[in-house]
Amino acid sequence: MGTKIIGTGCYTPERVLTNHDLEKMVDTSDEWIRTRTGIEERHIAADGESASDMAYPACIRALEASGTSPDEIGMIIVATVCPDYPFPSTACVLQRKLKVSPGAICLDMQAACSGFIYALDIVNSMVKTHPSLKKALVVGVEKITMLTDWEDRNTCVLFGDGAGAVVLEARRDSQDGGGIVASKLSADGNFTDILMVKAGGSAMPLTKEVMDQRLQYIRMEGQEVFKQAVNAMVGACKEVLQEAGVTSSEIRWLIPHQANRRIIEAVGKRLNLTEENVFINVSRYGNTSAASIAIALDEIARGGKVERGEYLLLTAFGAGLTWGATLLRW
């Protein structure tokens, strides 16, 4: 018993900010950004565009791709660090926008850039204890540029906005054998300080003084995050492969969280994968946090880049630190 992805969708905002645009905003260069990160451009949400506004078209596309009507959806889970409101959840806002029937389970979850694979695993586990749960929407969405300090060249070149969604269907018999095969999730709160937004929560409410110090924005020790990220993702990937009895040579696509091309390539190399098997789209979107793997999945599915029965290995890391890996059979 488990779940299978039966439809995908994504959305990115219209406005594109290129590296050359950033050259006019901070002391940086297209060359520095491309060589250190692999990023060339990113999409930026409009001022009034909320997380649920971006998630909505991604969900509609996933519903259409899977031939699912909103009243079949028994659960919506939204992975985000940029909810529409402190409460109610963005999942409840989406439920109303999508006209998903009252009675569905709706919640947001926060595991930063690992949020989407955390959410997949939660639904995959919940179908086992909720027999009436047949189909769920799993969404990764971020308006991360609202947490971006546009005066800090160390971070403002890295991020972009967007949304991705999948419809997961409960599989109570083997059918075509596809679905979530194995998953490993982890966190280590000893590293909260190396990547965080200090202000805006209950620990440090927003005041003028706090905002003058720009503490409402992302602060990151880039090199430390880099080091932790590679080790964590490689370790999680090896664990799920071992648990499933699958070798890396059987993986059609490694789909890592798209934070930095160098991190992605290092992970692929340490898993003995060639570049034909490592999916990279960070050049066009930057780091869209919880949305990145969901957007990548949609590009792979819509681009006809995966055949039924092939293995996809998703892996992510993010603030917390959180990390994990999920092995899917398409």
Give catalytic status of residue 10 as yes or no. Answer: no
Q: Distance between CA atoms of 85 and 79, rounded to whole angstroms?
A: 14
Question: How buried is 196 (Cβ within 10 angstroms: 0-12 exposed, 13-18 middle, 19+ buried)?
Answer: middle
Asked if residue 229 lies in contact with residue 252, where contact means CB atoms within 8 angstroms, the answer is no
Task: Compute the distance between CA of residue 58 and CA of residue 293 in angstroms, rounded to an integer.
Answer: 13
Choosing from 113, 156, 237, 260, the catalytic residue is: 113
Considering the candidates 82, 124, 156, 257, report the single residue annotated as catalytic. 257
CA separation (Å) from 99 to 94, 96, 107? 8, 5, 16
19, 124, 260, 287: the active-site residue: 287
CB of 158 to ligand ACO, least distance (A): 6
- Nearer Cβ to ligand ACO, position 95 or 258? 258
Q: Give whichever of 45 and 106 is closer to ligand ACO, judged by the CB atom.
A: 45
Q: Which is nearer to ligand ACO, 118 or 330 (CB)?
A: 118
Q: Is 14 exposed, middle or buried (0-12, 13-18, 19+ CB in 10 A)?
A: exposed
Residues that bind ligand ACO (CB under 6 A): 28, 32-33, 36-37, 112-113, 153-154, 157, 195, 220, 222-223, 225-226, 229, 259-260, 263, 287, 289, 318-319
Tokens of 181: 């095969």
Residue bearing tokens 């966190």: 187
Q: Please confirm, yes or no, whether 257 is among the known catalytic residues.
A: yes
Are 56 and 97 contacting, i.e. CB atoms less than 8 angstroms apart?
A: yes
State the pairing for strand pair 311-318/2-11: unpaired
Closest separation in Å from C-beta 113 to ligand ACO: 4
Question: Is there a catalytic annotation at residue 113?
Answer: yes
Minimum Å distance from CB 317 to ligand ACO? 7
Shortest Cβ 86–ligand ACO spacing (Å): 19
In the complex, residue closest to ligand ACO by CB:
222
Name the residue nearer to ligand ACO (CB basis): 184 or 261.
Answer: 261
The smaller minimum CB distance to ligand ACO, of residues 16 and 196, is found at 196
CA nearest 53: which of 113, 98, 18? 98
* Smallest distance from ligand ACO to CB 225, Å: 4
Which residues carry out catalysis?
A: 113, 257, 287
